Amino acid sequence: MSKNKLKNEKPESKKPKAPTPNPDVLKKDKEAEVKVKELVKDERTHKVMGVFFLLLSVYCFIAFTSYLFTWEDDQDKVFRYTTRELLIGDVKVDNLLGRLGAYVSHNFFYNGVGIAAYLFCYFFFIIGVNFIVGRRVFRVWRNIKYMIFGLLFISMAMAFVTNGADFPWGGALGNALDKWTSGFIGKTGTALLLLVAGFSWLIWKFNFDFKWPEKKVKPPKPVPVAPAAPATPAVAATAVPTPAATAATPETARGNALKGDSGVVVIPPHEEDPEEEIPMTLIEKDEEVTIIPAAHAAYVPPVTAPVPPPVASSEPGPGEEEEEEEEDPGPLLYVEDVEEELPPPPPPKKKNQPEEVAFEIKETFKDEEDEVEELATVRPVVSADPYDPSLDLRDYRYPGLDLLENHNADKVVVQDTGELEKNKNQIIDTLKNYDISIQKISATVGPTVTLYEIVPAAGVRISRIKNLEDDIALSLSALGIRIIAPIPGKGTIGIEVPNVKKSIVSLKALLASEKFQNSTMDLPIAIGKKIDNENFIADLAKMPHLLMAGATGQGKSVGINTLLVSLLYKKHPSQLKFVLVDPKKVELSLYKLIEKHFLAKLPGEEDAIITDTKKVIHTLNALCIEMDLRYDLLKEAGTRNIREYNAKFTQRRLNPQKGHRFLPFIVLVVDEFADLIMTAGKEVEMPIARLAQLARAVGIHLIIATQRPSVNIITGTIKANFPARVAFKVSSKIDSRTILDIGGAEQLIGQGDMLVSFNGELVRLQCAFVDTPEVESVAEFIGNQKGYPDAFLLPEYVDDKDSDGRELSLADRDPLFEEAAQVIVQTQQGSTSLLQRRMKLGYNRAGRLMDQLESAGIVGPNMGSKARDVLVKTESELQEILNDLL
């Protein structure tokens, strides 16, 4: 019911008591009241007020500044004449703003607060801006607090410092404060007091980090890798002469580097051989590369808003940003009526109150006091500012690209035109030997392989060329020939021939590319470069899971690092958590440094990186629980996926007291899946399959890698749920079929050469390269920053087998078990959120306690959104149960 209505009804209810009610008069009153209200609410009134306050601010500023120069002359006059004379007399003053200016300034400075009077100009200014803009660009109440502090501090400090000066630096207030304090605690005491107050304010405002230099965390030893020779081509590079000049002349070394990174070498068009009937075109499709300026160190953080955009009218204004920092960003700003299960209900209960309360979009400016009033009287009101999950680590800095290497990209790899020509001739000759003539041949030079595209002469059957794969490979005497017949959507036949000189695709170049920097994907991963040098950047959230296979030493670990590092470059710790499973124990150990920023782990675990199979089972099951919990949250919020849910949460339309929270994406990375399946079989397969089937909508994504892509490892269930698959070189065609459903991966040449099957397409890529020391420096950079107090905690999973046959003794339970039991029995409400509120617990711990209470027979089973039944009715009954547990 609106306030208006209430007020309008009032006179009617009093009507019979009124001596001679005159309906006309009443009506007029009513109308007048409504009109005044409307006028006060009218946007134009606010604008007029805004202009007034802005001008007042400017007026005071000019008057005060003029006073600084004219006070000596004017002071005497202001003293001598009465206010009346100053107002209507013809006293001449020097202040730029006349007698009023002199009078006002004198009172602000001399009788007031001295130089601190300028704070009033600022205050009038912010009020004016708020009125004009029509919303709270500046927080009034906070500014009033700062102002009061500022007036006291500045006036007193000025009076103290300029003691005895003619100019009223501290004003009457400052002098009085100074006098009293100096008398009370002496001059030195006053000085100390001022220093303490000044520093306290600075610390409060800027929250300096007084860190004692910590002992440097020793990063784990680099992963032993195959003899590193990133720049060394896999295929013998001896016989090929290097042409003297290259057409590429980048301006700077860095430019050079990137040019090299792009992997394309500019090859002058080949002169036509008179004997050749079929000319070859060289296709160059160099991806535009962003040149990293020398001082680019600061990586441009994601363009995408970390959270979905807030509603237009509640967006913070430019001036609010800094203000915002001080504000508790937490969702506790959410105000809603107390839940049903709250013990003795102090506020009136609202049964069946809708879960989410859409908050009003306030179109007109409301002063904070008004809001406070409204909070007290009206139904849930939500802070207008969207919740920003990243504010917990607001000083977090994204890693810069300077932490990554170019990997010899500054050495321009020269592609030998002779090699291209030779290969072309050999392809044509080989085909000719089998009576296959071709119309046209073109070449695209990629970082690792060159794609020769052939248009066969009319009437040639494609399958014939496909069958000649081995013969062509033999005649080209090269490993890793792959024939694509036909190239999907092109009507040509592709023959991929490895380059004698390969170029490394550095992850740095990929991350610097516009495509990555401007990506608006949820989980952008820079995988590598296509054969035509186009950057391949995909959204893991859309994939939605990734299966990776490759024989040992072919680039899997580098591939995983590439994916992880790409995500680290784009995501804030509040938006993403990794669950890292590393049975080999060494591959992912580097990421330990970012535990408090990006890792998730089981409660009570010491290491966030899981190496033990048993713990892997627990963790996978915990992830399944997290998934179920997230689904419950999504359901309660009436949303379909994590995006919608988080958007609603950040708009403060979901109540954290009901367990709602901002959901970070969770990426599970398993480095050696085969090992797990061998040791744990179904126990690992089932939760993985469940997660793969269901977890995408709730933001849980999997990256599973294996050395052995055999059918007993990558089972049908697993495969069916991993539509995106990556194969590095595998040892047999069968393995290739297992992973990609098609041969070809056995033909790859290793060192990051890969096939990606995604969206029904099979793409050959050169995986981006990032070396262990680079990963280390990125992890160190992040790890050295302030993180959360602990890793992100997954829900606890209690293995039935562990607890089978024995009840948990009290000692095995949560230390708060007894207290929780008492709360539940006293209030007779089996509600997890009640425990959360009463005992100030996190959602997970309260849930765990509730489970323990259930197993002790104190509460009944979970009943979805309803509170559980409390099975123990009296405290003495509870005491008996607790004694039994001892």
Ligand X SMILES: Nc1ncnc2c1ncn2[C@@H]1O[C@H](COP(=O)(O)OP(=O)(O)OP(=O)(O)O)[C@@H](O)[C@H]1O
Q: List interacting residues with ligand X (CB under 6 A).
A: 225-226, 228, 230, 504, 550, 552-558, 707, 751-752, 767, 769
Host H or E run for residue 444: strand 438-445
Considering the complex, state which of residue 192 and residue 228 has its C-beta at the smaller distance from ligand X.
228
Contact 92, 76 (CB under 8 A): no
Considering the complex, state which of residue 403 and residue 841 has its C-beta at the smaller distance from ligand X.
403
Rounded Cα distance between 469 and 474, Å, is 9
**Maximum alpha-carbon separation in the chain:** 120
Contact 712, 677 (CB under 8 A): yes
Rounded Cα distance between 335 and 652, Å, is 9
Nearest to 693 by CA among 726, 716, 670: 716
Rounded Cα distance between 634 and 621, Å, is 20
Considering the complex, state which of residue 424 and residue 556 has its C-beta at the smaller distance from ligand X.
556
Question: Smallest distance, Å, CB 545 to ligand X?
Answer: 19
Whether 232 has a binding-site annotation, put simply, is no
Whether 555 has a binding-site annotation, put simply, is yes
Question: Smallest distance, Å, CB 778 to ligand X?
Answer: 17
Question: Smallest distance, Å, CB 641 to ligand X?
Answer: 33
Question: Smallest distance, Å, CB 546 to ligand X?
Answer: 15
Whether 557 has a binding-site annotation, put simply, is yes
Considering the complex, state which of residue 60 and residue 730 has its C-beta at the smaller distance from ligand X.
730
Considering the complex, state which of residue 230 and residue 250 has its C-beta at the smaller distance from ligand X.
230
Question: Smallest distance, Å, CB 497 to ligand X?
Answer: 18
Residue 793 CB partners (closer than 8 Å, separation 6+): 600, 601, 602, 603, 842, 844
E runs forming strands in 133-181: none
- Name the burial class of residue 459, with classes exposed (0-12), middle (13-18) and buried (19+) by CB atoms within 10 angstroms of its CB: exposed
Q: Classify the C-alpha dihedral 455-456-459-461 as positive or negative.
A: negative
Considering the complex, state which of residue 584 and residue 737 has its C-beta at the smaller distance from ligand X.
584
Host H or E run for residue 536: strand 535-539
Contact 258, 503 (CB under 8 A): no
Considering the complex, state which of residue 236 and residue 458 has its C-beta at the smaller distance from ligand X.
236
Contact 105, 64 (CB under 8 A): yes
Cα angle, residue 275 at apex, residues 271 and 279 outer, rounded to 5° = 50
Whether 556 has a binding-site annotation, put simply, is yes
Rounded Cα distance between 721 and 415, Å, is 41
Considering the complex, state which of residue 744 and residue 830 has its C-beta at the smaller distance from ligand X.
744
E runs forming strands in 606-716: 665-670, 700-706
Considering the complex, state which of residue 63 and residue 748 has its C-beta at the smaller distance from ligand X.
748
Nearest to 525 by CA among 701, 379, 382, 271: 701
Question: Smallest distance, Å, CB 588 to ligand X?
Answer: 11
Whether 530 has a binding-site annotation, put simply, is no
Question: Smallest distance, Å, CB 697 to ligand X?
Answer: 31
3-state secondary structure of 381: coil
Reading the block at residue 414, the tokens are 């020269």
Question: Smallest distance, Å, CB 746 to ligand X?
Answer: 15
Rg (CA), the chain: 36
E runs forming strands in 466-523: 482-484, 493-498
Question: Smallest distance, Å, CB 708 to ligand X?
Answer: 10
Residue in the shown chain whose Cβ atom is closest to ligand X: 752
Reading the block at residue 774, the tokens are 């680079």
Contact 772, 590 (CB under 8 A): yes
Considering the complex, state which of residue 329 and residue 555 has its C-beta at the smaller distance from ligand X.
555
482-484 and 449-456: which strand pairing? Answer: unpaired
Considering the complex, state which of residue 353 and residue 552 has its C-beta at the smaller distance from ligand X.
552
Question: Smallest distance, Å, CB 496 to ligand X?
Answer: 17
Amino acid at 384: A
Q: Which residues pair with 754 in a beta bridge?
A: 765
Question: Smallest distance, Å, CB 259 to ligand X?
Answer: 18
How many C-beta atoms lie closer than 10 Å to residue 5's C-beta? 9
Cis peptide before 544 (omega within 30 of 0): yes
Considering the complex, state which of residue 655 and residue 751 has its C-beta at the smaller distance from ligand X.
751
Question: Smallest distance, Å, CB 744 to ligand X?
Answer: 18
Considering the complex, state which of residue 104 and residue 409 has its C-beta at the smaller distance from ligand X.
409
Phi, psi (deg, nearest 5) at residue 577: -135, 140
Question: Smallest distance, Å, CB 775 to ligand X?
Answer: 11
Contact 830, 868 (CB under 8 A): yes
Residue 516 CB partners (closer than 8 Å, separation 6+): 510, 524, 526, 535, 537, 566, 570
Whether 551 has a binding-site annotation, put simply, is yes
Residue numbers belonging to the annotated binding site for ATP: 550-557
Residue numbers belonging to the annotated binding site: 550-557
